[in-house]
């Protein structure tokens, strides 16, 4: 955990970004490619004259967007929260917005204090390409059985080892709790909302791909259960494109 120096302030931010041109949230060594964390740290370090480290609630993948990502940083700067936000908006690129800035208690940590996160996956259902929304949706024309997708949800809800729904092996715990999965038809789109206490690497995209496979008749609840219990990634199940995924909300106690 990032230690807070005596006399420093703890500043919480909520940011929104289009992930299209970013190599994800996490800063890369030597600034190899632009990242959201890297952009925020560069501007904040320039503003404060300090080596600012920004702590995010989690790491979004390359190309994933955020409607509301929570982060915090420590600083000795005396600038007001309003002035911090104004400075960020002046110098950040147009695809990264700061929705709010506030000073919080010293023990607040954007990642470790998070209770749950909500992701939304957007599927464009029309037969024609999504010209204006092409960077924000997965174009998937053709029939989808929504009832078949809904039938698989109870199998996934609750606390499980979700190793089979991740593309990265880790020595850390892969047990997560999935609280809710809901579907919403919005014009030409189908939205899949997933809320849980945390998500493994690529987990949200693989969950969405699994449900879409169910909607296309490729698998049912028992196959999903078997996959979950196997603890092994099935490469035949699609990991849907990153561009359709949004981090919608991070909640705290």
Q: Which of 61, 116, 145, 213 is catalytic?
A: 61
**Is 61 among the catalytic positions?**
yes
Q: Token pair of 80, please? A: 């007001």
Q: Token pair of 213, please? A: 């496979």
For 104, counting Cβ atoms within 10 Å of its Cβ (0-12 exposed, 13-18 middle, 19+ buried), the class is middle
3-state secondary structure the chain: CCCCCCCCEEEEEEEEECCCCCCCCCCCHHHCCCCHHHHHHHHHHHHHCCCCCCEECCCCCCCCEEEEEEEEEEECCCCCHHHHHHHHHHHCCCCEEEEEEEEECCCCCCCCCCCEEEEEEEEECCCCCCCCCCCCCEECCCCCCHHHHHHHHHHHCEEEECHHHCCCCCCCCCEEEEEEEEEEEECCEEEEEEEECCCCCCHHHHHHHHHHHHHCCCCCHHHHHHHHHHCCCCCCCCCCCHHHEEEEEEECC
Active site residues: 61
């Amino acid at each position: 955990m990032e230690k807070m120096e005596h006399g420093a302030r703890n500043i919480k931010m909520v940011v929104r970004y289009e992930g299209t041109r970013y190599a994800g949230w996490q800063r890369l060594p030597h600034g190899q490619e632009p990242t959201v964390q890297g952009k925020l740290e560069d501007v904040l370090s320039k503003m404060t004259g300090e080596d600012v480290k920004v702590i995010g609630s989690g790491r979004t993948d390359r190309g994933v967007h955020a409607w509301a990502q929570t982060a915090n940083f420590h600083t000795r700067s005396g600038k007001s929260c309003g002035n911090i936000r104004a400075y960020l908006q002046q110098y950040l690129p147009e695809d990264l917005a700061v929705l709010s800035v506030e000073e919080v208690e010293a023990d607040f940590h954007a990642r470790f204090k998070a209770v749950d996160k909500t992701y939304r996956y957007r599927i464009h259902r029309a037969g024609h390409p999504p010209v204006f929304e092409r960077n924000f949706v997965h174009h998937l024309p053709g029939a989808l059985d929504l009832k078949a997708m809904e039938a698989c949800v109870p199998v996934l809800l609750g606390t499980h080892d979700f190793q089979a729904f991740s593309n990265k092996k880790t020595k850390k715990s892969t047990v997560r709790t999935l609280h809710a999965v809901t579907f919403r038809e919005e014009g030409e789109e189908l939205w899949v909302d997933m809320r849980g206490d945390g998500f493994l690497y690529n987990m949200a995209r693989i969950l969405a791909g699994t449900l879409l496979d169910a909607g296309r008749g490729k698998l049912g609840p028992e196959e999903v259960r078997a996959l979950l219990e196997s603890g092994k990634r099935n490469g035949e199940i699609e990991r849907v494109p990153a561009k359709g995924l949004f981090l919608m909300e991070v909640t705290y106690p």
